[in-house]
A and B are shown apart, each in its own frame.
Chain A
């Protein structure tokens, strides 16, 4: 199994998410994570979708099917080594009186995580990093009692000189993968 990150640039219109996901559903591909936001170019959305698949050829075909959606401007498929990527996670940790104090210095220095909210008997810690870094921190903090844990989808930028929007809207069809 390889992890593929698919970046999709679309016009920002109603129903695009649906148009894209039915292509995955029809081919029985589970979406590991999905993030959507507007790009530096107004009216253009960027989808970042992470999937696992053993066949590169299959993912190439998938990319071409996504490209067929009328509102899709460009699609790029990447392996992990081609991109810089991160996620953000929030941990709600129990800190009732009498329990072991949090080692904030280790949290900050070793795990690059930050306490962003102090409640009466809990804190919220924000951790940015790759899936692995987030789960390393998860293991570290688990003994304190995780009341709630949430992880965003992956965001990624390509390791190319140019920004991907430079390919828009003049981007011609190419075998991006």
Chain B
């Protein structure tokens, strides 16, 4: 009976109605959110006012542009497996998020975007900073909803986090009118995590008959080949994948976003595949008798011309999203479910096997690729450095254990090809949308998502200038992100296409670049430029030794091309090595 007084006090506090904004804060805390990437503005001010009292629970990172908030939330989600959160105001705040939302949608990344909106009575009046956020985001997000009353907040926020993270993850947009943020709730705040939406039931556990049919094809195959995508990392099925591959002896390739789902030094690993993937990994798609796609969607950058892709092979497609089945490549045995659940159920049904002879066939292509592409790229005789030697040295110095956050273009492909990934979730890059400017914000998002890992952004000189302002975010929040600009003074990938397919007509791809290091220093980020081969090692050491954010600019060969290359729309058999 001693505790009567405090208990009464507690009850009184609980009964006190919350404003919508306070309810939002409570909901985020209850959902386990620890970080918000955001930018304030008129229509989201009540939320920012409430956030003032929650700074000890919710770490708010003030970005320099809303696109940065969305990419940072993606980086955070990709490394931690948790849902990233961003906060923005109405109108331009919301439209600036769109690129990031579309990026998260196509790369199945769970983020929740909380966006302010004009008061409900002003909707549709062209009020100041009003845009139709629901209409704009509808085609590029997994789900969106407009909250117009404070009472809706707990339930809708719970639903938002459930939908973003479950099934095939994706971005969820919640538009909150200003009156809903300001008003008092008419009932006591109560938060229950959402575990079910009646019209949305992603299948995690596969149907047994589908699993059995897949197992039958796998057991019959003489030349089976497995392509592993991002889904394996989303489902955290890396261990199950290794066990499955080792039992069946099936060689494994990854897609771009599947990189690091399977250890690069594993004897069953054949490399990655796709437009700039490894020679053998690409060519063998037209020699295998069974192709097993795991958590991947047969993107056109993987298949080249889909009509000519793996025509001779039967296809087993393990995939969580039923709409991906047969979308590009017809599956003989589709299995709908979560990668981990499927692999676990397949395990007892598949025979132990050893496909050494078949696997060795990949090696002869590796030898050709090494001789024609890799060896000259790694030990060039050019005056300037080449991108591969930078990534290769970085890989050795970090023992393949750092997180690479690659931007979009030639440097992205080089990072995918030449870094030797040893741990899962080690390559974070914009795969589906190909968003230039992704890397810098995604890198600090990743650093916040897992501070224990070394995060290194690999950025082109073009990409860097798209989100250069996020140096301010990195400096202000003292986020020890390392960034390397591979500066070739060109929009390199576009230039490569112009060289190969447009008769060397270099149309608006040459850049007059600023002094990046001076700019970084202006933001309070230290850095230096490396332009000579003999300085590369010490330059990387300086970068890695820094316990602060650091920018290293490496001047590289201007007209070096990325090979292998499967020209767009052709068969993987048309792969070029030079």
Task: Write the residues of chain A forming the contact surface with B, with a CB cutoff of 8 angstroms.
Answer: 10-11, 14-15, 18-19, 22, 26, 57, 60-61, 64-65, 67-68, 70-73, 169, 172-173
Q: In the bound complex, how far is the Cα of B139 from the Cα of A65, in angstroms?
A: 12
Q: Give the contacting residue for A68; candidates B139, B323, B326; CB below 8 A.
A: B323
The residue among A19, A70, A73, A169 with the most chain B CB atoms within 10 A of its own CB is A70
The smallest C-beta distance from A66 to any residue of chain B, in angstroms, reads 9
Interface flag for B134 (CB, 8 Å): yes
Q: How far is the CB of B93 from chain A (nearest CB, A)?
A: 21
Known: A61-B323, A70-B200. 12 other contacts (CB 8 A): A10-B199, A15-B138, A18-B138, A61-B326, A67-B322, A67-B323, A70-B163, A70-B199, A72-B199, A73-B198, A169-B198, A172-B203
Distance, CA A29 to CA B142, complexed state (A): 22
Residue of A nearest to B139 (CB): A22
CB-CB < 8 A to A15: which residues of B? 134, 138
Establish whether residues A19 and B138, one from each chain, have CB atoms under 8 Å apart when the complex forms: yes
Supposing A64-B322, A65-B323, A173-B336 touch, asked if A11 and B199 sit within 8 A by C-beta, the answer is yes
**Chain A positions within 8 Å of B134 at CB level:** 15
- How many residues on chain B are close to A (CB under 8 Å)? 21
Residues of A within 8 A of B139 (CB): 22, 26
Chain B window 3-42, contacts with chain A (Cβ cutoff 8 Å), 1 for yes, 0 for no: 0000000000000000000000000000000000000000
A33 to chain B, nearest CB (A): 23
Nearest-CB distance from B9 to chain A (Å)? Answer: 41
- Selected A-B contacts with CB under 8 Å, 20 pairs: A10-B199, A14-B146, A15-B138, A22-B139, A26-B139, A61-B327, A64-B325, A64-B327, A67-B322, A67-B323, A68-B321, A68-B323, A70-B142, A70-B143, A70-B163, A70-B197, A70-B199, A72-B199, A169-B199, A172-B203
Nearest-neighbour CB distance to chain B for A23, whole angstroms, equals: 9
Which 7 pairs of residues, A with B, have the shortest CB-CB distance? A64-B323, A73-B199, A70-B143, A70-B200, A169-B198, A22-B139, A173-B322
Q: Quick check: is B124 within 8 A (CB to CB) of the other chain?
A: no
User: Shortest Cβ distance from A67 into chain B, in angstroms?
Assistant: 7
- CA separation between A19 and B325, bound complex, in Å? 22
Name the B residues within 8 Å of A67 (CB-CB). Answer: 322-323
**B514 at interface, CB cutoff 8 A:** no
- In angstroms, Cα B336 to Cα A19, docked, is 24
**Chain B residues whose CB sits within 8 angstroms of the CB of A172 once the complex forms:** 201, 203
Interface on B for A, CB 8 Å cutoff? 134-135, 138-139, 142-143, 146, 163, 197-201, 203, 321-323, 325-327, 336
B327: A residues at CB distance < 8 A: 61, 64
Residue of B nearest to A66 (CB): B323
Enumerate chain A residues within 8 angstroms of B197, measured Cβ to Cβ.
Answer: 70
B148 CB, min distance to chain A CBs, angstroms: 10
Interface of B is mostly: mixed
Chain B residues contacting A60 (CB-CB under 8 Å) are 326
CA distance A158 to B197 in the complex (A): 27
Which residue of A has the minimal Cβ distance to B172?
A70
CA distance A57 to B336 in the complex (A): 19
Task: Decide if B135 touches A18 in the complex (CB within 8 Å).
Answer: yes
- Of the candidates A11, A61, A68, A173, the one whose C-beta lies within 8 Å of that of B203 is A173
Q: Chain B residues near A18 (CB, 8 Å)?
A: 135, 138
Q: How far is the CA of A22 from the CA of B136 in the complex (A)?
A: 11
| Contact residues in A for B323 (Cβ distance below 8 Å) | 61, 64-65, 67-68
Residues of A within 8 A of B325 (CB): 64
How far does the Cβ of A14 sit from chain B's closest Cβ, in whole Å? 8
> How near does chain A come to B115, taking the closest CB pair, in angstroms?
16
Can you name the residue of chain B whose Cβ is closest to the Cβ of A173? B322
On chain B, the residues within 8 Å of A57 by CB distance are 326
CB distance from B205 to the nearest CB of A (A): 11
- By beta carbon, the residue of chain B nearest A73 is B199
CB atoms of A71 and B322 under 8 A apart: no
Chain A minimum-CB-distance residue to B199 = A73
**What's the Cα separation between A18 and B336 when bound, in Å?**
28
Residues of A contacting B142 with CB < 8 Å? 70
What B residues does A64 contact at CB under 8 A? Answer: 322-323, 325, 327
- Chain A nearest CB, measured from B231 CB (Å): 16
Q: How far is the CB of B145 from chain A (nearest CB, A)?
A: 9
Q: How far is the CA of A73 from the CA of B198 in the complex (A)?
A: 8
Bound Cα distance from A172 to B207, whole angstroms? 11
Q: Which residues of B contact A173 (CB under 8 A)?
A: 203, 322, 336
Q: How far is the CA of A68 from the CA of B203 in the complex (A)?
A: 12
* Chain A residues in 8 Å Cβ range of B321: 68
Query: In the complex, A72 Cα to B323 Cα: how many Å?
Result: 14
Whole-angstrom CA separation of A169 from B198 in the bound complex: 7
A44 to B: closest C-beta gap in Å: 9
Q: Are B326 and A71 in contact (CB under 8 A)?
A: no
Which partner residue on chain A sits nearest B202 by CB separation? A173
Please indicate the chain B residues that have their CB under 8 angstroms from the CB of A65 in the complex.
323
Most chain B CB atoms below 10 A, which of A60, A65, A71, A72: A71
- Shortest beta-carbon distance, A70 to chain B, in Å? 5
Q: Which residues of A contact B143 (CB under 8 A)?
A: 70
User: In the complex, what residues of B have CB within 8 A of residue A73's CB?
Assistant: 198-199
CB distance from B555 to the nearest CB of A (A): 43
Q: Considering only CB atoms, which chain A residue lies closest to B328 in the complex? A: A61
Q: Which residue of B lies closest to A62 (CB)?
A: B323
Task: Give the docked Cα–Cα distance between A15 and B326 (Å).
Answer: 29
A172 to B204, CA, bound (A): 12
Residues in B whose Cβ lies below 8 Å from that of A68: 321, 323
B299 CB to closest chain A CB (Å) equals 16
